[in-house]
Structure 1
Amino acid sequence: MYIHLGDDFVVSTRDIVGIFDFKANMSPIVEEFLKKQKHKVVPSVNGTPKSIVVTVQNIYYSPLSSSTLKKRAQFMFEIDS
């Protein structure tokens, strides 16, 4: 199944590694990971990013909140089951 991340981005739920709140204090490990993977970042086009979605291939800055994306992913998981 697929999940819409906003900004016309759609990814497979199987490819999602993690969803993080953009404004939350992230651990130093996550911050270091994001710095090293800058070349894979797909920035948000419409406004300020509210969440970070890490996939197998890219890192998306999404204008949708992490709780909204989590609900969408959970809903898709329930449909898939």
Structure 2
Amino acid sequence: MYIHVGEDVMVRSSEIIAILEKGTVHSSDEIKHFLEKNKKAVVYLSNGNFKSMIITSPHVYLSPIAPGTLKKRLLKPDSDVEIDD
């Protein structure tokens, strides 16, 4: 199953490692360090104003879509995804 994460980008749900909200990204030094270390893998899907960070094996997406909306998309009845809150 694929999930729309912003712009024209679709991500295979099995590739998603984590979805984090903007507040968590800004408040965690570890995440800031992770983003700095992996800056070549970061894909900006909004004009600097993101609501969530989606970590996948090849990329890190900064998305204008709220984490709750992404979770709802992952939990659709035809989804084979298990979510650990």
Aligning the two structures, in what range does the TM-score lie when normalised by the shorter sequence? Answer: 0.7 to 0.9
> 2:17 is matched with which residue?
17
Structure 1: 5+ residue stretches without partners: none
Distance 1:35 1:46, change over 3 A: closer
Q: Distance in 1 between matches of 2:14 and 2:28?
A: 24
Give the equivalent residue in structure 1 for 2:64. 63
Check whether the contact 1:7–1:46 (CA below 8 A) recurs between aligned residues: no
- Over aligned residues, Cα RMSD in angstroms? 1.8
Identity %: 37
Partner residue of 1:79?
Answer: 78
Alignment of 1:8-47 (within 5 A): 8-24=8-24, 25-45=26-46
Q: TM-score, normalised by structure 1?
A: 0.83
Give 2:74's aligned amino acid.
A
Which structure 2 residue ranges, 5 or more long, are not aligned?
A: 81-85
Distance 2:47 2:37 in 1: 24
